[in-house]
Chain A
Amino acid sequence: MTLGARLGLIAALCVAGALILPLIAVVWRAETLSGFKPSDAGVLWFTLWQAVVSAGLSVLLAIPVARALARRQFAGRGAVILILGAPFILPVIVAVLGLIAVFGRSGVVNVALAAVGIDPVTLYGPQGVILAHVFFNMPLATRLILQGWLAIPGERLRLAATLGFAPPDTFRRLEWPMLRSVVPGIFLVIFLICTTSFAVALALGGGPRATTVELAIYQAFRFDFDLSRAAILGGLQLILGVGAAILSLRLTLPSGLGAGLDRAVPRWDSASPLLRAQDAVVIALACGFLLLPIVLVLGEGVWHLTALPSSVWLAAVRSLAIALAAAILTLTLALPMALAVVTTTRGGWIEVAGTLSIAASPLVLGTGLYILLLPLTNPVKLALPVTLFVNVVLALPFALRALIPAMRDLDRDFGRLSTSLGMRGLDWVRLVAIPRLRRPAGFAAGLTAALAAGDLGVIALFASPDQATLPLVLYQLMGSYRLDEAKAAALLLVVLSLGLFWLFERGTRHAEA
């Protein structure tokens, strides 16, 4: 095992420990022992089915969008790809208001329907929960699948053109194998995100029928202070995650496309006007669906930006610092872990450990860390480092999703060559790894930074007012009637997050990505 892979194994063990120790701490601290309630079966069922449907729809809708973006070059394409990242980092409360502005009673959609005499559609119910989850996660799926598309070597496309492949042939021979290698992992990640959802499910679910496991955890913790129940439910979520992870790894097949020279080539097979029109419509629809809610809710914020007090800007700086540190730390963990996943025999388990943190209940994680830190120090003084730590652990699965396929190709395509040339250590890193991993690493860092900047997470459990981050300030503004200023803060948050995303990606981009 190489040094890098060994580091990766250690990192994976640390992550697994960081997920399981807090859970044990919560159980240990529990005053009573209690277990499941009869109503939990219904809660579990709702959690599972809405997550399967949400993740399935997110991925299915993302595939045509990613394909359209992969095979078209047009002015503003970079901007479209960048802005597609916005829903994912939007604070839940802002996204919900945005969706209401489009799909709500007096939203754009119902106004349009009324104009042509159709009865209004209602947003509230399982359909609202699924809609919101697709809104949040389809852009993530699009980005990750797009990475896969861009990783298809230009040489293969050139060969396909020489052989006179029609689009269905290209799909069967090149695109389908690529999708088989990336989609199961992406589905898994989104499925897990949707299982831990709670504020969205509650706000758009329309009532107690839309209760998820995470809400039950929150209730157990906040209202009943039943730590054992919180921990049992949190453990259940983790087990669910392990099961789903193992299943998805089974379904993943290597793409087997082989190596290329990283040239971007035109897509000769998709030049027909019909396909062009099809791609244009797909991209336009996706932009409309994803951007309209954001524009409608943040647009009002523009007028209140100047009214934001300096404390909000300070909070933005704090969020920025956390985001940068999280990006660097996450990459430091994710790169060796991805290497270990690909090159060691226990790679599958490392991948499971690295994916699991999305299935961890943030509330249980935060509470467990609090219990662990309490005997050692005043946890409130560590609010920012703890927030950073949790952000790193939570961003890791996304970083791994971006890095593992690239690392796998790297190992398969260049592993033997590197070995035969005796290239290892720093030379290998410089000549082989960096050029091949630059793009996914930049994407992973950008995504982590954006996620960390937008995360409310554990800071709400720990904070003292002078440590507030931008998302926390946003909630404070909303909690004191100041909806307009809250929207301005949300706008600031989105600009900040996307700015970080853009910087990281730009800094690491290849000639024509």
Chain B
Amino acid sequence: MKKTLTLALMMIATSANAEPLTIYAPDYFASEWGPGPAIKEAFEASCSCEIEYVTGDLLPRLRLEGDATPADVVIGLNTDDAERARQTGLFAPHNVAIEGLTMPIDWTDDTFVPFNWGHTAFVYDTTKITDVPTSFQALLDADDSLRIAIQDPRTSVSGLALALWVHKVFGDGAEDAWAALAPKIVTVTRGWSEAYGMFTDGEVDMVLSYTTSPAYHIIAEEDETKKAALFDEGHYVMVETAGQIATTDQPELAQAFLDFILTEPFQSIIPTGNWSLPAKLDPAKMPAGFEKVALPETALIYGSAEAEALRDTVVAEFEAGLGR
């Protein structure tokens, strides 16, 4: 008995000593139904190494761990969170030559590498809504019988993106815009899943999601009745990024992974893996079905420092506008 136990412990110990590349990722990214597993496989094919994903809330965990973090690479931080991540001082420069991006914005950040992006948008069911608002203002002016579910900016990244979007479009009138939206907002959920579930189940007519959400329904379910309402003012863009930890004990491997991000094997997994738009992929190589997804002409975004500075303001606008 004792011998088997020792043996078992030794086996556990040796397998842990193989030193995989530890990547912190959001739950949806690393789960079986996200892009993580395919990316892991593609990267491991290019080296004799192993990726180990650790999931959870990235930023709070990094800040708890500080210099002692076992992470080598962090993936899935979006631009609205990037500034806070930078301020932890845990990240090293990415050293990746960034050019030829297929994104609507210039990229100058030297800490974080973008890997995918998408426009925040209100998704609706074409069989239920015929009078589709063509601008954010039209949405505010729409009849109050329109039923919308959104995510809470205090608990969700997409909710925060909406609050920034409202601020970008309406400026000082943001609080009034929220107040105009309030009667149409059926509920505010903690995360994207709850709200989207309510939309799929038919409880709401519109849901805060992404312009690429219809791609899932088109490609995976052959359902073309889900569309994103495109607004003249433009759509707020969320960019997800990755960075490497300065204190990593495997700098070469971490760098190799960052270099891998903007290559085609990685990028071609994104469209149907994360149901979003790759940061750098020849449009001709996008999977069939994506051509049916309508995208807005104007992209709106705040730089990471600006988004950070505005965060408390836009959350307060949301609370005040909806709380009236």
What is the chain A residue whose CB lies nearest that of B321? A208
Minimum CB–CB distance from A243 to chain B (whole Å) comes to 27
B63 near A225 with CB under 8 A, answer yes
Q: Is B36 an interface residue (CB 8 A)?
A: yes
Map CB proximity to A onto B208-228 as digits: 1 under 8 Å, 0 otherwise: 000001001100100000000
B152 near A483 with CB under 8 A, answer no
Q: Known interface pairs A476-B32, A478-B197. Does A219 touch B55 (Cβ–Cβ under 8 Å)?
A: no
Interface of chain A, helix or strand or loop or mixed? helix
| Chain A positions within 8 Å of B31 at CB level | 465, 468, 473, 476, 479-480
- The residues of B with any CB-CB pair to A shorter than 8 Å are 16, 27-28, 30-34, 36, 52-57, 59-61, 63-65, 68, 70, 84, 147, 152, 154-155, 182, 185-194, 196-198, 200-203, 213, 216-217, 220, 275, 311, 315, 318-319, 322-323
What is the chain A residue whose CB lies nearest that of B216? A481
A367 near B64 with CB under 8 A, answer yes
A481 to B59, CA, bound (A): 25
Minimum CB–CB distance from B201 to chain A (whole Å) comes to 6
Minimum CB–CB distance from A162 to chain B (whole Å) comes to 57
B188 near A208 with CB under 8 A, answer yes
A209 near B323 with CB under 8 A, answer yes
A203 near B189 with CB under 8 A, answer yes
28 inter-chain pairs at a CB distance below 8 angstroms, sorted by A residue, are: A29-B64, A39-B319, A93-B193, A93-B197, A202-B188, A203-B194, A205-B187, A208-B319, A208-B323, A209-B323, A215-B154, A221-B60, A222-B155, A223-B155, A370-B61, A371-B64, A380-B70, A461-B56, A461-B61, A463-B56, A464-B52, A465-B36, A476-B34, A478-B194, A479-B27, A480-B34, A483-B196, A486-B197
- A-B contacts, CB under 8 A, total: 148
A104 to B70, CA, bound (A): 46
Q: Is A462 an interface residue (CB 8 A)?
A: yes
| Chain B positions within 8 Å of A374 at CB level | 64-65, 68
- The residues of A with any CB-CB pair to B shorter than 8 Å are 29, 39, 93, 96-97, 100-101, 104-106, 124, 198-199, 202-209, 215, 218-219, 221-223, 225, 309, 311, 367, 370-371, 374-375, 378, 380-381, 460-465, 468, 472-473, 475-483, 486
| Chain A positions within 8 Å of B63 at CB level | 225
B32 near A311 with CB under 8 A, answer yes
A483 near B197 with CB under 8 A, answer yes
Minimum-distance CB pairs A-B, first 8: A480-B33, A476-B31, A478-B193, A479-B28, A219-B154, A207-B322, A104-B203, A481-B216
Q: Known interface pairs A462-B56, A481-B216. Does A202 touch B155 (Cβ–Cβ under 8 Å)?
A: yes
| Chain A positions within 8 Å of B192 at CB level | 479
Minimum CB–CB distance from B254 to chain A (whole Å) comes to 18
Q: Known interface pairs A97-B198, A223-B154. Does A206 touch B188 (Cβ–Cβ under 8 Å)?
A: yes
| Chain B positions within 8 Å of A463 at CB level | 27, 54-56
Q: Known interface pairs A207-B185, A461-B56. Does A202 touch B152 (Cβ–Cβ under 8 Å)?
A: yes
Minimum CB–CB distance from B311 to chain A (whole Å) comes to 8
| Chain A positions within 8 Å of B84 at CB level | 225
